[in-house]
Copies of this chain bind each other. A is one copy, B any other.
């Protein structure tokens, strides 16, 4: 059996907070986390981890929702902010980093995943908003850590630090995945298809908040939504709106028709579905029939059939709206999420260590009701014979996820770190006893 991991809670709490506030100040949206990745990499390097970047951890073919132009700008800004040039070169345009700790002893291959991207939301300008009041508000207008991934990255660094410090007490291999582009479910598939997780025996991931109060651990969230993210481009023909109003092909009108109809896709007998058109950008002038329009949206469903039902309706409505207004239309996939089902063995494990890790309440099941890019990772691990789990770490919030007023309860990072450390530790024990049995 393994020894208990050593950690100084007080100083770790301080460091978690510092990490989190730094990440919060420098938020970077999906596929643009160059500064964030560089900062994480520097620290992991210092701890002794071997780092993997770019194509090693991401299958470039399977990437969704990455805008080359925005990536270039993000690299510039990351440099301005002080990102490491060497790391930027290693990333080769792809954010995120995989860190490996070999213990040199036989044992399981355990992965922990932390997502690191921010959301394209304007952070609250209200003085009572804590990050603003305390001076760590977002420095990037229109981008904010309004989903708690700043905490996730910090928890990852906290876990990394303790594991590295206790290396001699561990066995097997540890793989820490600092994942980019979770928002919009844009990277999961590409990471899964890189094969970097194919040797994993145990996989752990957690999300902070999610309507779970501070102190509570939810071990086995239910009802992850399948989802398709998409951009729809309508292309018409401009014309002077005063002189020849009949001569244009109105892409904005087509987009509005499409939105109205998509929001009215009938509910489905078999369960929960969702549709959202989150953005529209159309037209170039005021007195010109608008010749272009872009919609950015997503469908969801309780299962793949339901999401497929929604997405097929979206496709049909897009086609029909285009036909109606005599414009052209093209749909570009931007992200994809599938179901996520935890392994019972790991649900039992988390249930058993929750209280000891500092949670005051441990709940087994609760509705999730959203989509998670981890679905692809969990699915990959499981289909290679590994076990995987995704759990929820409660945190009182000041506003819902993706809301500009969103803020977390920072004190909830420590129990998350301890939970994951205990999970790693216990998994190594379980695996050993299993190995022992196998050896008999």
A358 at the interface (CB under 8 A from B): no
Out of B246, B257, B264, name the residue touching A309 (CB < 8 Å). Answer: B246
Per-position binary interface string of chain A over residues 254-273, scored 1 when its CB falls under 8 Å from any chain B CB and 0 otherwise: 01110111011011111011
**A98 nearest CB across to chain B (Å):** 26
A363 at the interface (CB under 8 A from B): no
Q: A253-B263, A256-B259 are in contact. Are A243 and B287 (CB under 8 A)?
A: no
A86 at the interface (CB under 8 A from B): no
Q: A241-B278, A252-B259 are in contact. Are A268 and B246 (CB under 8 A)?
A: yes
**A141 nearest CB across to chain B (Å):** 11
List 25 interface pairs A-B (beta carbons < 8 Å), by A numbering.
Answer: A119-B285, A122-B284, A240-B370, A240-B401, A242-B300, A243-B400, A245-B276, A250-B263, A253-B259, A263-B266, A267-B272, A276-B289, A278-B285, A279-B282, A279-B285, A279-B286, A285-B402, A286-B298, A287-B298, A287-B371, A288-B402, A316-B323, A320-B320, A320-B321, A324-B324
* Chain A residues packing against B (C-beta within 8 Å): 119-122, 142, 183-184, 210-211, 225, 227, 229, 238-248, 250, 252-253, 255-257, 259-261, 263-264, 266-270, 272-274, 276-290, 293, 296-298, 300, 309, 316-317, 319-321, 323-324, 326, 334-335, 369-371, 400-404
A-B contacts besides A245-B274, A263-B266, A278-B289, 15 pairs, CB < 8 Å: A121-B238, A242-B370, A244-B400, A246-B309, A253-B263, A253-B277, A256-B280, A267-B274, A278-B285, A279-B282, A279-B284, A279-B285, A286-B296, A286-B298, A287-B371
